[in-house]
Amino acid sequence: DAGITQSPRHKVTETGTPVTLRCHQTENHRYMYWYRQDPGHGLRLIHYSYGVKDTDKGEVSDGYSVSRSKTEDFLLTLESATSSQTSVYFCAISVGGPTDTQYFGPGTRLTVL
């Protein structure tokens, strides 16, 4: 357990509504990541952050935005949710460095109807 929590753990919403997922860490790690997990695709990176207010896009960033105003919190926002964004979302942290282990949160299961 690397002190990572995600909220909510489960959410059902309707198409077109905004949704914000929160990732919180207690260990002040510099790097934070948002992934989505879908059958047959493994984990795909949505966005990542390498410091407060420093973020960059991953391979599947369309339709998602992020914010990091504090070291401990990394927010993922779906501005207008679509059914294709139904997925399990994982947050991860690392201290940085290509050999460093990523530690994952428990995940958020999002269903968009």
Partner 1 sequence: AQSVTQLGSHVSVSEGALVLLRCNYSSSVPPYLFWYVQYPNQGLQLLLKYTSAATLVKGINGFEAEFKKSETSFHLTKPSAHMSDAAEYFCAVSDTPSGTYKYIFGTGTRLKVLA
Interacting residues with partner 1 (CB under 8 A):
4, 31, 33, 35, 40-45, 48, 50, 56, 58, 90, 92, 94, 96-107
- For residue 99, the tally of other CB atoms under 10 A from its CB is 5
Q: Computed over its alpha carbons, how large is the radius of gyration of the chain? A: 13
CA–CA separation, 61 and 16 (whole Å) = 17
CB of residue 94 vs partner 1: minimum separation in angstroms?
7
- Residue with smaller CB distance to partner 1, 15 or 50: 50
CB of residue 33 vs partner 1: minimum separation in angstroms?
8
Residue 85's SS3 state is: helix
CB of residue 80 vs partner 1: minimum separation in angstroms?
26
- Residue with smaller CB distance to partner 1, 7 or 80: 7
